[in-house]
């Protein structure tokens, strides 16, 4: 007795199984949560081999970023609570960076301390009532040629660009966290964006996050953990001279 099914039926069953499998795969995929985002977004915000990060001054082993806050030439909206916000944002990035490199900041206020020496590559922070366009914060890098960053200025607006209202301290903290990310090196020197595509990250272009995400921390940790040869732009202090033929690159919030 022949127990084999007719060839035609066998083919039909195989097709049915295949179709069922496809439907299952389809529906499973449809019901899944969105695909997981990557662990970090470094490739989104920097150009390979043209990264900036702070490096030790010549003869030193650890990185110390000179942060100079202008608390003298301030807009009428300014008050001293801004200093604590700056410190909070400045420090939020440090633990992750320190997992990769010895890292700290040295902060001075123009009002009660003498400024850093002129040959320091420093981060200057200034406040203003409003910035142009829809910006509430920006970091301007000054570069000398292609190799060195000679300094940078972070500008923080105290009022909303939309309706002129005073920004809350939580909003200002979100802006400061974002701009410190740029200042610590999450900055695209190419034609691409300097921002994360995920709204949960403080480096999102319109972030309101007041805490660093796991991806923010992973990104800055990876950035400072790269081998030195992967980084072209570097602190001027390592070269020991100050060049004034600067090229300004502005990142807008």
Name the residues that contact Zn ion, by CB under 5 A. 251, 253
Shortest gap between Cβ of 176 and Zn ion (angstroms)?
A: 12
Closer CB to Zn ion, residue 101 or residue 135?
135
- DSSP 8-state code for residue 124: E
Shortest gap between Cβ of 26 and Zn ion (angstroms)?
A: 39
Distance in angstroms (rounded) separating the CA atoms of residues 249 and 197? 21
What is the number of alpha carbons within 13 Å of residue 113 lying toward its C-beta? 13
Distance in angstroms (rounded) separating the CA atoms of residues 245 and 65? 22
Closer CB to Zn ion, residue 237 or residue 251?
251
Q: To the nearest 10°, the Cα dihedral for 232, 235, 240, 244? A: 90
- Here the tokens at position 45 are 């915000």
79 in Cβ contact with 172 (< 8 Å): no
Closer CB to Zn ion, residue 122 or residue 178?
178
Distance in angstroms (rounded) separating the CA atoms of residues 94 and 218? 12
Shortest gap between Cβ of 245 and Zn ion (angstroms)?
A: 26
Closer CB to Zn ion, residue 145 or residue 190?
190
Closer CB to Zn ion, residue 42 or residue 237?
42
Closer CB to Zn ion, residue 223 or residue 253?
253
How many whole angstroms from its chain centre is CA 48? 15
Radius of gyration of the chain (CA): 25
- DSSP 8-state code for residue 229: G
119 in Cβ contact with 242 (< 8 Å): yes
Closer CB to Zn ion, residue 169 or residue 252?
252
Shortest gap between Cβ of 179 and Zn ion (angstroms)?
A: 7
Residue showing tokens 């300097």: 194
What is the number of alpha carbons within 13 Å of residue 119 lying toward its C-beta? 8
Shortest gap between Cβ of 209 and Zn ion (angstroms)?
A: 13
240: left (phi over 0), alpha (psi -120 to 50) or beta: left
Shortest gap between Cβ of 195 and Zn ion (angstroms)?
A: 6
Shortest gap between Cβ of 180 and Zn ion (angstroms)?
A: 11
């Amino acid at each position: 007795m022949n127990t084999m099914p007719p060839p035609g039926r066998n083919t039909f069953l195989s097709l049915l199984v295949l179709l069922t499998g496809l439907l299952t795969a389809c529906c499973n995929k449809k019901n899944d949560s969105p695909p997981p985002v990557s662990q970090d977004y470094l490739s989104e915000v920097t150009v390979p081999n043209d990264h900036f990060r702070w490096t030790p001054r010549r003869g030193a082993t650890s990185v110390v970023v000179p942060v100079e806050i202008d608390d003298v030439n301030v807009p009428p909206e300014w008050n001293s609570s801004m200093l604590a916000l700056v410190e909070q944002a400045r420090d939020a990035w440090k633990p992750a960076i320190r997992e990769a490199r010895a890292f700290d900041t040295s902060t001075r206020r123009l009002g009660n301390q003498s400024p850093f020496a002129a040959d320091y590559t420093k981060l200057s922070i200034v406040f203003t009532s409003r910035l142009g366009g829809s910006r509430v914060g920006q970091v301007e890098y000054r570069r000398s040629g292609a190799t060195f960053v000679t300094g940078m200025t972070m500008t923080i607006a105290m009022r909303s660009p939309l309706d002129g209202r005073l920004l809350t301290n939580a909003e200002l903290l979100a802006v400061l966290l974002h701009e410190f990310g740029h200042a610590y090196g999450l900055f695209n020197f190419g034609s691409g964006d300097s921002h994360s595509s995920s709204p949960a990250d403080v480096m999102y272009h319109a972030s309101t996050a007041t805490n660093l995400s796991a991806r923010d921390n992973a990104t800055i940790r990876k950035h400072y953990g790269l081998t030195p040869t992967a980084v072209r732009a570097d602190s001027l202090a390592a070269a020991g001279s100050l060049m004034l033929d600067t090229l300004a690159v502005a990142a807008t919030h």
